[in-house]
Amino acid sequence: MNLSRFLASSRPACLVTTLVAFTLTTLPGCGDSASTGNTASDSQSEAATEATNAASTGTPAASTDEPALNSPSTGTSESAVDATPTATDATTGIEVPPPATTTTTEPPATATASSTSSAPGNSAADEAAAAKQLESDLAALNIPPDWLATVTSQWDTSKPWKDARLEIRRLLGKGDDASRREGIRLMWDYKTKGDMGNGHEYGMYLFLGGEPLWAIRAFRERLAEPQHEHPPYFDAKGLASLYTDRGVFSQAEELLLEGLDWKPPKAEWSEMRQAEMHDSLGDLYAAWGRLDDARTHYQESVRIYPLGKPPYGRHLLPRRAKKVQAKLDLLSLQSLAGASLKDGTWQHTALGYSGDVKLSVKISGGRIADIDIQHEEKIDQGATTVIPQRIIASQSLAVDGVSGATVTKDAIVTGTLEALRKAGLK
């Protein structure tokens, strides 16, 4: 299926979108399709995005031929960039301090639950209603939103984008709403002046910054561009994740199935990309209630991950496979009710978005009494606080996620599962 045709059929006409909501900018894929900015600079910017991930986590990074973007939806999620790179950015040469290990305390004001388990029903009529409501919400969306005019930034916008993007990540990672909005404002300032490379980070920062509707619009525009230097994996997975949150499952499925057919410019990334897309499809089908399909794609992801030969982060692929296996196991675990759990504190370290997520799960009276987390997640939308609270309150691992933080949520849930196994969960 042609991706641009699919996107056009699932959203208002491009011209209407341009006139109503984006009068200040030229939309990719609408009107003049000439690219803006320097091609080499854009390619370096995409590589820098991934180099940031590799520097701070050891996650597979990309050359300029293959930017490795991790899942936000599903995944994946949040899986696009870290808030603040550590060590030295391999492309920009900018040295930045490593993040401090964080022990979760109070949830930030921006934490917003996704609607994975409370999404509209799975019938065709329910999905059609959800799709109609989504388009209505998008039509009513003002770009930029009214609140943006009330936000000021002390940042000198004459500085280059390679510096501004680091400041945006820092602001989004602070966890308070004022900083989040300042980060979005700074991103918008650079976009409106046309100094944002090829724009591949536009939807990503909106997604990670807790602006789901705006992110949907941005992802659609990016995917509708007539040409991409690299397959837009993150945009497809991010948009599919947001569609899933809204109960528009069929559109998410079509996106991910098309992405499954994409070929990275360098074959050494092929297996990892395939495994990521199967993982994302497993997440979609699990949320959709199509558990047999979810199992099929999770199993394929587990099978393919160890076959990967990426030039960076190959040592992490077995941990990724184990994390997907835990999600596969969760499909058969309907409830913790009746589980015989030994009292004590049980620990497990899971692979998060920015590094290890270390969990200490306290069992008292055979129930989950507390979940303590130490982590280096930077843009987690409060997931490291909210998800443990939901698990404890419901005594269940089947809890809603947090929009823009699916990778972190998966780490907490699968890590808790492994800790409970040590406590005797069968």
Query: CB neighbours of 281 closer than 8 A, spacing ≥ 6?
Result: 74, 253, 256, 257, 260, 293, 294, 297
Please give the Cα distance from 171 to 185 (Å, whole number).
10
What are 242-252's pLDDT values in tens digits?
A: 999 999 999 99
Q: CA–CA separation, 378 vs 326, rounded Å? A: 24
The total of other beta-carbon atoms located within 10 Å of residue 45's CB is 24
Q: Do 15 and 50 belong together in one domain?
A: yes
For the purposes of burial, counting CB atoms within 10 Å of the CB of 230, is it exposed (0-12), middle (13-18) or buried (19 or more)? buried
In a domain, 115, yes or no: no
**337 within some domain:** no
**Residue 202 shares a structural domain with residue 293:** yes
The per-residue pLDDT for 306 is 95
Asked which of 10-24, 32-46, 217-231, 279-293 is least confident by mean pLDDT, the reply is 10-24
- Give the Cα separation of 200 and 195 in Å (integer): 12
Q: Which of 72-81, 104-113, 114-123 has the highest mean pLDDT?
A: 114-123
- Res 398 pLDDT > 50: yes
Q: Count of domains in the chain?
A: 2
Contact 68, 53 (CB under 8 A): yes
């499809």: which residue's tokens? 281
Q: pTM value? A: 0.67
Residue 355's domain comprises: 344-422
Same domain, 34 and 88: yes
Q: Is there a single domain that holds both residue 356 and residue 305? A: no
- Alpha-carbon distances of 118 from 245, 246, 327, 426, rounded to whole Å: 9, 9, 19, 27
Residue 338 belongs to some domain of the structure: no
User: What is the mean predicted confidence (pLDDT) over 285-289?
Assistant: 93
Of 302, 329, 356, the one marking the end of a domain is 329
Residues 227 and 279 in one domain: yes
Q: Are 202 and 222 contacting, i.e. CB atoms less than 8 angstroms apart?
A: yes
Show which of 296, 329, 362 is a domain's final residue. Answer: 329
pLDDT of residue 37: 34
The reply to whether 363 and 399 lie within a common domain is yes
DSSP 17: H
Contact (Cβ atoms closer than 8 angstroms) between residue 129 and residue 120: yes
- The residue from 301, 329, 357 where one domain ends is 329
For residues 271 and 385, membership in a common domain is answered with no
Residues 323 and 238 reside in one and the same domain: yes
Confidence of residue 141 (pLDDT cuts 50, 70, 90): very high
Q: Is residue 417 part of a domain?
A: yes
Decide if 166 is inside a domain: yes
Query: What three-state secondary structure class fits 359?
Result: strand
Token code pair at residue 22: 């984006």
Task: Give the contacts of 284 (CB within 8 A, at least 6 positions apart).
Answer: 73, 74, 240, 244, 249, 252, 253, 256, 294
Domain membership of residue 210 (yes or no) is yes
281 shares its domain with 392: no
Cβ–Cβ < 8 Å for 381, 406:
no
Q: What is the CATH number of the domain that holds 366?
A: 3.90.1010.20
Measured distance CA(15)–CA(82) in Å, rounded: 34
Tens digit of pLDDT for each residue in 178-210? 999 999 999 999 999 999 988 889 999 999 899
CA pseudo-torsion sign 160, 161, 163, 164? positive
- The confidence score (pLDDT) of residue 251 equals 97
Q: Does residue 7 have a pLDDT over 70? A: no
Q: Which of 344, 261, 327 is nearest to 76 (CA)?
A: 327
Say how many C-beta atoms besides its own lie within 10 A of residue 194's C-beta.
12
Residues 321, 349 within the same domain: no
* Structural domain contains residue 312: yes
Residue 239 lies in a domain: yes
Q: Do 187 and 305 share a domain, yes or no?
A: yes
Q: What percent of the chain has pLDDT over 70?
A: 70
Same domain, 309 and 395: no
Task: Read off the pLDDT band of 403 (50, 70, 90).
Answer: low
